[in-house]
Structure 1
Amino acid sequence: MKFPWFVLATSLCMETLWGADIPALTKQAGTGNATAQYELAEIFAEGKGVARNPKLAVQYAAQSAAKGNAKALYRLAALVFEGKGATQDVGRASGLFKDCRKPLEELAKKGDADAQAKLGVLLMRGLSGPPEQEAAKEWTIKAAKQGNAKAQYDLGSLYLFGRVVKKDLTAALNWFLKGAKGGHPGAQVSYGIAKADGYGTARDLKEARKWLNLAAKSFDPDMVQRAKQALARIEAGDLQELPDTKAMKAKADDGNLDEQYRLGLVYHEGQGVEQNLPAAHELFAKAAKKGHARACNALGGQLIKGLGCKKDVAAAHHWWLLAAKSGLPDAQANLGLLLSRGEDGVVKKDVVEAYKWLTLAARAENPRMAARARSMREGLTQNMKGLEIFKGVRAAQGFKPVKIPVPAPPVKRDGE
């Protein structure tokens, strides 16, 4: 199931307070209060309770930054970088980002959640130098745990896409919900669509409408549009049909291998249910041991990354090899990629075998799979000798698919 509505949270917009007393802040800002000036810059930049006004945001951010407010300097850099309220100037913005990094770090170390969240974006996107994704992740987590809604949205997106962290739909939705409760329109849209589509969770249209309607009333134009589009899909009934997990489970429990594999996919992808990788692993393993090729391939995919199980490269190679020998192009491509590079000192690099499997996968009826295999093979041949390519071609020509033995043989390891 695809979920194209999510927005990867690398936006430069940050968090500020709802319900701010703008007249009072304006009065304080007029007296030169740097904190009030910064608050107003954030409010007008993000449209927190009022329509966005980038020019005013630039004005107040510049005033506060001139008094040494690092967060205001970050905001000014972001506005200049995006060309909002000021002439776009990436070079100038880069300099401002570099200038604000050190003071932001000092604030972040003192526990300032807003500074932590800003620092997370700064480092994730490499706005002040090369990206530092691990450090960015840690600052984002710290800010999210302190209740910063934007950081919660950012962290949810990291888990959703498996960026810097292991992909985890349950964690992603938990953070989106926290961010949604904190008033972040992007989090509200992401969580609302998840509930509408049953992505990593049970479908709940009432809950979906609740969050999408809130986002539709925000002052974030992009999220307003996305929320309205999602609401229109709900009202038109333009929603993907979800699997009947109860019926599937009954058949899987009766030993139906196809249903064991399909139910494993449901749990693995969170189709109308909460994602459950260990349950998926158990189902894939059950069907794989009975010779189900696609289950073997799926099991290998979990083992290579440690999804729902302990990472085991040797076992991943074992199950992919069984499925590849049976003629499954997906497994042949996965095995070819693994052999093209080797991994963890467990699977040795073998470019001839890799070329063989990628050549076989390139014959797949599925055009996307065939194109993927051809692309990987082209990359592999750049570092291969002519004789190695010849051997790979001959090996592919001599291939004949064989059925997976039942029960499938156990994983063999070095020394056994």
Structure 2
Amino acid sequence: MKPITILMIFIGCLAGSGWASAGSPSPTPQAKTANSSASLFQSAASAYERKNYPVALKIFTELAEQGDADAQFSLGVMYDNGEGVPKNASQAAAWYRKAAEQGHAKAQFNLGVMYANGEGVPKNASQAVTWYRKAAEQGDASAQFNLGLMYDNGEGVPKDASQAVTWYRKAAEQGDASAQFNLGFMYANGEGVPKDASQAAAWYRKAAEQGVASAQFNLGVMYANGEGVPKDASQAAAWYRKAAEQGDAYAQFNLGFMYANGEGVPKDASQAVTWYRKAAEQGDASAQFNLGLMYDNGEGVPKDASQAVTWYRKAAEQGDASAQFNLGFMYANGEGVPKDASQAAAWFRKAAEQGHAKAQFNLGVMYENGEGVPKDASQAVTWYRKAAEQGYASAQFNLGGMYANGEGVPKNASQAAAWFRKAAEQGVASAQFNLGVMYENGEGVPKDASQAAAWYRKAAE
């Protein structure tokens, strides 16, 4: 009755919807031109680490006003975070700028972040790019990653996948996990570089080993499909588990599927339910549908039609066609909900409009019988035809019947025979019998006793 959703294959979207955040004052300051300045800075840095912000603020301010770039940057951080002073993005940006203009890479990066987010300065993607570039050219990995994102998204610069790859690579080679993930994505999709599954897997692995859940999931997908790595269900399950344990809903769903089907792990319906539930509770429609199936069939949980309906509804309301069909079925049969033909038709229609063949057929039946909708042979034919054209045998048989009887369409024996044949070739016994009758009587086909006998035999078998 109800299909099991196949393993979802999904390559995640690019990382980096947010920006790397401003850091703490550097614990290893640049060398000072005067020993007294260096000593003062170390004293301030030590005070900061001890969270003695008043002392740190006093010394950093004194040094910053003397033009010390490290102190200017550190003072910017304190204003940015509201440490020892009221939080003040405008003051933070002002101090970052002073340090940035002296070539301080971390200040250049943070100033870029401020422009990107419109914090303390007007939002300005072009200025963000300018400051990211200055820091990136000094080797700052976070700035290289963010500059790659700007090229990737066409923010502040013309969109340029090749340039995005260049900057992602620089950051990735320094061990930046987000850049490693994005570089893997670019190789997986052939954006800015030739498509190369092996390289994609290699970069996903680097990010995955640093704990990036999206990379762990994508690496699992590559093992599941044998893309860039040998196909290995146990490795796929292992990487899905790592991502799933971090709360990645897609990984939770896929891990549930692996347990449901015994792929890469021992078959275990209870574990399948556990992981489907975790993903379902995060709003994953496929997991909600599959969890509904588990309740519907009593697999891994006690059979519970009411719970099945609950989860089908959640998925159906997100537009999942299979869930819409199953919810319609539950209403049609009064399973887990009061029997309601009108609701059944409404949900069958939603699934049918998405191309779900069984729903199209069922909606056709409801129009033919006037169940939940006004009786309308023409509408029945419309929906039977949609399902029949997708190869759904029952719909082909019913459509043949409509042509044979002139219901909803002009009577046409030739069309009746054509649709009966399609259903008959798929093994529908009633269609085989009807086609035999048509050959015996020469209706819609040339009269042919041997063909009639052949189709009667198939039906009889």
Q: Which has the higher contact order (CA 8 A, sep 6+)?
A: 1
Task: Name the TM-score class by shorter chain.
Answer: 0.3 to 0.5
Q: Please tell me whether Structure 1 or Structure 2 has the larger radius of gyration of its CA atoms.
A: 2
With normalisation by structure 2, the TM-score equals: 0.38
